[in-house]
């Protein structure tokens, strides 16, 4: 008996809702969260993964209507290749988070009153994300989008006893609703020309260049705000560190990709037309986001905040690939456009996997040390060997080093960019190499950033008492990390197989796939042609393993020849943790070069005991350039509006009468 993918997707939604319902009873029975709620959440992720894989393998489109919604607008559900791919993305991360959660949430069982909120809103959060990618009309899409945003708001505010977390949650909610309003207006433009809120009606809309551009800008702003593109990223480094770590993994790994899905669905599917002017805007914003995101990450010492800024960088890389796809498709180069589109999809799932893995690793460190400051860490590899190994896999993957998955998607993006010579416009031919250069600089800075993270946190000696007492985390937490670490390796070793699997997405959305990618067998990835470029991931992995084993063998032979005795220390005191490189010191050269991009407050101040303390505060200039002026304007406008509140009932009745007269005049 073969179960249809659409039915499996419905099962995933039902299991997510059931996990939210069961968590209501966890206030009195705290064990329910670990033994019932999280298994249901895990099964929901597994069902979503099965539904997505089934759709990609079987192909085709499944459409149905739900007996919900408005009398004249029932909720439409559609499962196609694009939805199936993002269901796979949601499913694999949710499955790993479900495995990870029991060990992590055990520490919250003492706060029995908060358990229903944690489990309930986690289930609703997953439900909202699943329904967003399944929606086939604007009404269901916006309902699911708001469900996703509101439930994640309560998860960000989970530790609401801290003022900083309440502030982060409010900022996130505010920007989520501004972005949602932009998306709603974009759908309004499409619905007005398509004569309906169903996506099929919007696909038939006959849009002029002007109105199509309005819909594109609204979608770009709305989805870009949720994705965290610069300069709309301010909520992201505030909200992600505030949420529990497994929720941070879902938000950064999955929710940001749901925003990418929304952008692809609206621009590539519903609008369905491309103009090179749009691609220039996407390339420019994507490049700035990638570069500024990793520079901001390098300046951070808070581990979760650093990972949040790194998500800005990776979202920028995804939009660079989408911008290249739009550029080549709009200029009549479908093969190269398909390569860039597949690169965006592949980096989406890559980032979902390795960023979720890194947030889980940060959660494991926080769970056992209660520490997020890199300056207080060190020597964790000896105390947490499995977490150290899995975190290393995540660091290598996000630094785009072979044979792990991050290399493949960035290599595909470069392969598309290197085809700029095919463009007729000299301006566009000149712009694409600049974007590629920015991407190359971003990759180098990402490698430096995660060398800093791993070296300071896991190597050397412990810098604080909490870290010296660190121990292995529960098995469930290691299992969740291990699943994602294995996915990082598989996505890096077998890119041809995975690209063949997701080839149905560009065929459905663009009408052109990458049939040539596996033309030379599973061993070689040839996105353009074998004469242009090819990548043999298994061969690279074999060469690296042989080189590593040879290096270890030579090192072992060299060690055996060394006479062991006490080392001469030249009369100096033995090394202490204070003599190690700090995270701030590691980033100091880059901070000096790019210092003008940040607001840096650096200096030293005397302490009561006669010592001097060095301090460093690096703040995002986007606050002063974009957000604080708007806040000041709103505050001034609010003071003017307050004048209407005179306290006199006759004045209020007068304003009401005046409003009615104006409305009657407008509707007459």
* Tens digits of residue pLDDT in 154-199: 999 888 888 888 888 888 888 888 899 999 999 999 998 888 888 9
Sign of torsion over alpha carbons 364, 370, 375, 377:
negative
* Tens digits of residue pLDDT in 603-658: 778 888 777 777 777 877 777 777 777 777 777 887 777 777 767 787 888 888 88
The rounded distance, in Å, linking the Cα atoms of 619 and 314 is 20
Task: Round the average pLDDT of the chain to a whole number and report it.
Answer: 87
* Tens digits of residue pLDDT in 484-493: 999 999 999 9
So what's the pLDDT on residue 559? 60
Mean pLDDT of 72-77: 83
Nearest to 298 by CA among 582, 583, 597, 581: 583
So what's the pLDDT on residue 573? 66
So what's the pLDDT on residue 48? 95
Structure token pair of residue 413: 């993006």
So what's the pLDDT on residue 602? 78
* Tens digits of residue pLDDT in 381-436: 999 999 999 999 999 999 999 889 989 999 999 999 998 888 888 888 889 999 99
* Residue whose structure tokens are 């749901």: 258
Mean pLDDT of 54-75: 83
Indicate the pLDDT class of residue 1, thresholds 50, 70 and 90: low
Structure token pair of residue 133: 């990618």
Nearest to 278 by CA among 364, 359, 214: 214
Nearest to 600 by CA among 614, 575, 621: 621
* Residue whose structure tokens are 């709620």: 37
* Tens digits of residue pLDDT in 125-145: 999 999 999 999 999 999 999
So what's the pLDDT on residue 165? 85
With a CB cutoff of 8 Å and minimum separation 6, the contacts of 473 are: 103, 364, 367, 368, 384, 387
Q: Is the pLDDT of residue 269 over 60?
A: yes
Nearest to 174 by CA among 641, 638, 637, 630: 630
Q: Is the pLDDT of residue 242 over 90?
A: no
**Rounded percentage of the chain residues whose pLDDT exceeds 70:** 96
Indicate the pLDDT class of residue 120, thresholds 50, 70 and 90: very high
So what's the pLDDT on residue 224? 93
Question: 555-559: which pairs have CB atoms within 8 A and are 24 or more residues apart?
Answer: none
Please tell me the pTM assigned to this model: 0.91
State the Cα torsion 343-345-347-350 to the nearest 10°: -140
Better-scored residue on pLDDT, 118 or 565 = 118
Q: Is the pLDDT of residue 322 over 80?
A: yes
So what's the pLDDT on residue 566? 67
Q: Is the pLDDT of residue 459 over 80?
A: yes
Mean pLDDT of 70-89: 89
* Tens digits of residue pLDDT in 276-313: 899 999 999 999 999 999 999 998 888 999 999 999 99
So what's the pLDDT on residue 112? 54
So what's the pLDDT on residue 106? 83
Indicate the pLDDT class of residue 560, thresholds 50, 70 and 90: low
């Amino acid at each position: 008996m073969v179960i249809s993918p659409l039915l499996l997707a419905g099962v995933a939604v039902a299991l997510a809702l059931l996990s939210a319902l069961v968590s209501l009873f966890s206030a009195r029975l705290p064990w329910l969260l670990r033994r019932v709620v999280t298994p249901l959440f895990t099964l929901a992720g597994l069902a979503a993964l099965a539904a997505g894989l089934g759709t990609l393998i079987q192909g085709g489109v499944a459409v149905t209507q739900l007996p919900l919604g408005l009398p004249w607008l029932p909720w439409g559900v559609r499962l196609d290749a694009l939805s199936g791919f993002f269901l796979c993305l949601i499913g694999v991360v949710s499955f790993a988070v479900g495995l990870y959660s029991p060990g992590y949430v055990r520490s919250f069982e003492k706060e029995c009153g908060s358990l229903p909120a944690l489990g309930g809103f986690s289930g609703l959060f997953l439900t909202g994300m699943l329904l967003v990618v399944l929606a086939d009309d604007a009404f269901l899409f916006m309902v699911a989008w708001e469900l996703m945003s509101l439930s994640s708001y309560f998860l960000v505010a989970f530790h609401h006893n801290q003022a900083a977390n309440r502030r982060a949650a409010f900022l996130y909610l505010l920007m989520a609703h501004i972005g949602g309003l932009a998306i709603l207006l974009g759908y309004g433009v499409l619905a007005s020309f398509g004569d309906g809120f169903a996506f099929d009606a919007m696909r038939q809309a006959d849009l002029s260049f002007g109105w199509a551009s309005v819909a594109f800008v609204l979608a770009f702003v709305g989805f870009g705000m949720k994705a965290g593109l610069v300069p709309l990223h301010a909520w992201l480094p505030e909200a992600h560190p505030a949420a529990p770590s497994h929720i941070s993994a879902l938000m950064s790994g999955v929710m940001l990709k749901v925003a990418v899905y929304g952008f692809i669905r609206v621009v590539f599917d519903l609008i369905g037309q491309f103009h090179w002017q749009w691609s220039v805007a996407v390339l420019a914003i994507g490049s700035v986001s990638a570069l500024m995101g990793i520079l901001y990450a390098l300046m951070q010492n808070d581990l979760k905040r650093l990972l949040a800024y790194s998500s800005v960088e990776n979202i920028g890389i995804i939009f660079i690939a989408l911008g290249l796809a739009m550029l080549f498709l709009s200029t009549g180069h479908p093969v190269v456009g398909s390569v860039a589109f597949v690169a965006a999809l592949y980096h989406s799932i890559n980032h979902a996997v390795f960023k979720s893995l890194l947030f889980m690793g940060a959660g494991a460190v926080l769970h056992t040390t209660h520490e997020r400051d890199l300056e207080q860490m060190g020597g964790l590899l000896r105390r947490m060997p499995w977490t150290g190994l899995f975190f290393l896999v995540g660091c290598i993957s996000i630094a785009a080093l072979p044979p792990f998955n991050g290399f493949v998607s960035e290599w595909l993006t470069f392969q598309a960019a290197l085809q700029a010579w095919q463009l007729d416009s000299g301006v566009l031919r000149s712009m694409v190499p600049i974007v590629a250069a920015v991407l190359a600089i971003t990759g180098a800075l990402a490698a430096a950033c995660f060398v800093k993270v791993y070296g300071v946190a896991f190597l050397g000696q412990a810098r604080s008492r909490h870290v010296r007492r660190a121990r292995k985390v529960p098995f469930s937490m290691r299992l969740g990390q291990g699943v994602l670490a294995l996915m990082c390796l598989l996505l890096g070793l077998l890119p041809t197989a995975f690209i063949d699997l997701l080839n149905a997405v560009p065929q459905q959305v663009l009408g052109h796939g990458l049939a040539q990618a596996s033309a030379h067998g599973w061993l070689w990835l040839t996105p353009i042609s074998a004469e242009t470029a090819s990548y043999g991931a298994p061969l690279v992995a074999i060469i690296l393993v042989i080189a590593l084993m040879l290096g270890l063998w030579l090192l072992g032979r060299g060690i055996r020849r060394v006479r062991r005795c006490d080392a001469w220390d030249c009369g100096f005191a033995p090394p202490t943790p204070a003599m190690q490189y700090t995270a701030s010191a590691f980033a100091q050269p880059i901070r000096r070069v790019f210092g003008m991009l940040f607001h840096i407050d650096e200096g030293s101040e005397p302490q009561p005991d006669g010592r001097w303390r060095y301090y460093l505060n690096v703040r995002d200039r986007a606050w002063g350039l974009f957000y604080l002026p708007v806040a000041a304007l709103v505050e001034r406008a609010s003071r003017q509006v307050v004048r209407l509140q005179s306290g006199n009932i006759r004045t209020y009745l007068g304003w009401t009468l005046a409003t009615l007269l104006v409305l009657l005049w407008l509707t007459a």
